[in-house]
Structure 1
Amino acid sequence: MTAIGFDNTERLLTPGQVASLFSVDPKTVSRWALAGRLGSLRTPGGHRRFRESEVRELHARLTSEAHH
């Protein structure tokens, strides 16, 4: 959950944006982060942000599993 070593050019998503992509509640996204299912960063104000590439990877994995 640290900002050290992350690519500054990568788009960061809010919990609401991630929740919208997965059709879940934003609190579910926060629980995924706490469980280690999805990595997150913290803004200086303490808000969670998620790397778009990691979110897309998880979405692709879950979508693929759903179709098998």
Structure 2
Amino acid sequence: MYDVIAEAVDAHSARVSDVARAGERVGDPTVPQDLITPREVAALFCVNPKTVTRWAVAGRLTAYRTLGGHRRFSRAQIEQLLSVQAAC
């Protein structure tokens, strides 16, 4: 099952533009408003939160940073990945 999730994440990351997200912070107008934590993402994919962090560092998931430096993820992107996973 992990391979299916990883393939879905890889396929999505290939479609995501290479725009650097490091400068974008939660609260900027360009950042989605509906964000979730790595723990919530991990629960949806049934993986460890560290795995979600590794996916973000590898560029497989788009992560936004809070002012405190914590990662947050777009709920819409995660739901899209989950629908791709369910279709497999």
TM-score if structure 2 supplies the norm length?
0.65
Identity across the alignment (%): 44
User: Aligned partner of 1:6: which letter?
Assistant: V
Pick aligned residue for 2:54 from 28, 31, 37: 31
Matched residues, number: 63
Match 1:53 to one of 76, 79, 85:
76
Residue in 1 aligned with 2:67? Answer: 44
Q: Which residue of 1 aligns with 2:31?
A: 6
Letter in 2 for 1:56: E
Cα-Cα RMSD: 1.3
- Structure 1 ranges of 4+ moved more than 4 A: none
Q: 1:47 & 1:32 partners in 2: Cα distance?
A: 15
Q: TM-score normalised to the size of structure 1? A: 0.82
SS in 1 for 2:73: strand
**Structure 1 letter corresponding to 2:66:** T
Q: Structure 1: which 5+ residue stretches go unaligned? A: none
